[in-house]
A and B are shown apart, each in its own frame.
Chain A
Amino acid sequence: MIDLSVDFGFIKLKNPVLAASGTFGYGIEFSPFIDLNKLGGFVVKGLYYSPRPGNPPQRLVETPSGLINAIGLQGIGVKKFAEDILPQLRKYQTAIIVNVCGETEEEYAKVVDFLNKEDGISLYEINISCPNVKEGGCCPAQNPESTYSVVHLVKEVSARPVITKLSPNVTDIVEIALSAQEAGSDAVSLVNTFLAMAIDVEERRPKLANILGGLSGPAIKPLALRMVYQVVKHLNIPVIGIGGIMTGQDALEFLIAGAKAVQVGTANFVDPEATVKIIQDIQRHCQFNNITKIEDIIGTLNE
């Protein structure tokens, strides 16, 4: 039997394949298609303390091998999540990760403080790409100081291990990753979406009502992989690779580059069974190459 489990020190995952935030709903949307217990875990849609209306449509544009979204983090808020969703998730034997959002640093802390009391959550993933209303819409991910500050605050209140999810829209992602590590983050995940746009030529108008959105999907995979490779070299906490993963081969590239696990995003829309198929693909690869433990592949890039 091949051992697909990966040990983060603070948590052991069944396998290195997680579903990415915002692309997997609250998890239950996928239960008609797959057995959620087969996943290494899943990250639920970003949660602010209060419900959020989100952006007006058009919210999505397809581009070559990619998707630009400007959902605007529409969501139900922590209370409704704890009352209506979490009880349905507790029956699953897999890591359930909450993607924590905030309009201010204090809101991140409030979300975590509220959820600390609830059972059934394994980890928090802090989404530092949320626009900060007090800082003129800049997000904490944009500089090492604000990253440090929000991660440090969340770590102080958190009763659970914390993953910091990094934005690729920065000059030097290694610098930001280091600052998350220094602030006490237990792991980092990268990348979130790339700031992007699309224009309707006939109308000479932006295709998205929000003008700008975030690019995801296969189009970003080489960029995301490069960033994971760079970050892994400089950090001593676990790194989770995200960006354009559609197949087991894609996932293996991130693992070989040194990611301890991966998250699958946009692929879930195209094929709601994508996560499970990726796990099968990885298993087959191991079988074929006489690898007994997936951990033996991680960070084995021959340079």
Chain B
Amino acid sequence: MLKDPHALITHKEHWKDYYLFTLESPIIASQAEPGQFIMVRVSSLSCPLLRRPFSIHSVEGKNIEIFFQKSGIGTSLLSNKITGDFMDIIGPLGKGFSWSQHSKTQDIVLIGGGRGIAPLYFLSQKLHSAGTTPIIFYGGKTKDDIPLKEKFEQKGFTIYCSTDDGSFGFRGLITDCFKDQLKNLTPKQIFACGPEPMMKAISQVAVKRGIPAEFSLESVMGCGFGACWGCVKKIKTKAGSEWVKICEEGPVFSSFEIVWEEQEK
């Protein structure tokens, strides 16, 4: 883990509200594992104040990528950065997916909802180079919300897409698309990231069918490195269940560890 105040933006792409930045940060790139994240300073002024967390989307040599959705002040400011700008980042942070033990497992399923697809690309890269070809489920509100579809297809992965409005692929939630495909698939492991109701629904299916599953959780983060205790989620531990710092112990947890919130908005 380190602070790199001079991560150079070497490439930028965007589709409507989604942005992909390539950052040159050799040490972070060499240490990163799928599911880990970085904390980005979006402004050198004091407003917005806090760094923003983003999953590591891919690693290629000395570069890392982040993929984000413009959804507030911080992400808007970030979206204005251009190739040649520097970014002040801290990473790699947290504990990622336990993918290495599954390198020989086939029928691994990755499920991403919206910008939750971000960490799953890096995971697919690692699994692929370890000899596994994961199956991808990718959902969004409309066809504009699944911009990374081609990126996965180019890797030769099977990908199932869903859109809420039916503008592309399965009409409805990615959860239902996944459930629908379960008649043809026997997943041995699920890795998922997306809105919490989506992850909760997948967790329920996984538990019912006895499929091990891991999820990358989100929470407002003050620091990203364990100092503020702001980012907690309820997690089952030896002591029962506790508020656990997801920046340090997570953000990835298994369906057996996560205590899902009762009410959803």
How many angstroms between the C-alpha atoms of A246 and B49 in the bound complex?
A: 11
Interface hub of A59, A246, A266 (most chain B Cβ within 10 A): A59
| Chain A CB within 8 A of B123 CB | no
Residues of A within 8 A of B226 (CB): 25, 29
Residues of A within 8 A of B222 (CB): 60, 67, 69, 269
Residues of B within 8 A of A30 (CB): 227
Binding site secondary structure of chain A: loop
| Chain A CB within 8 A of B225 CB | yes
Contact with B along A109-128 (1 / 0, CB 8 A): 00000000000000000000
Residue among A33, A62, A64, A71 making CB contact with B228, cutoff 8 Å: A71
CB pair A269–B50 under 8 Å, yes or no, is yes
Contact with A along B1-25 (1 / 0, CB 8 A): 1110000000000000000000000
Residues of B within 8 A of A45 (CB): 229
User: Could you count the A-B residue pairs with CB atoms below 8 Å apart for me: how many are there?
Assistant: 94
CB pair A217–B46 under 8 Å, yes or no, is yes
CB pair A65–B49 under 8 Å, yes or no, is yes
| Chain B CB within 8 A of A206 CB | no
Residues of A within 8 A of B233 (CB): 57
Q: How close is B207's CB to chain A, nearest CB, in angstroms?
A: 23
Residues of B within 8 A of A108 (CB): none
How many angstroms between the C-alpha atoms of A218 and B50 in the bound complex?
A: 12
How many angstroms between the C-alpha atoms of A64 and B74 in the bound complex?
A: 12
Chain B's closest residue to A205 (CB) is B265
A33 and B3 in contact, given A53-B243, A60-B222, A269-B227 (Cβ under 8 angstroms) = yes
**Residues 82-134 (chain B) with a chain A CB within 8 angstroms:** 90
How many angstroms between the C-alpha atoms of A131 and B188 in the bound complex?
A: 50
Chain B's closest residue to A26 (CB) is B227
Chain B's closest residue to A74 (CB) is B229
Q: How close is A31's CB to chain B, nearest CB, in angstroms?
A: 11
**New contact pairs (19) apart from A54-B232, A273-B3, CB-CB < 8 Å:** A22-B228, A22-B229, A23-B228, A25-B227, A29-B227, A33-B3, A59-B230, A64-B47, A65-B47, A65-B49, A67-B49, A74-B243, A266-B49, A269-B51, A269-B227, A271-B3, A271-B41, A272-B3, A272-B225
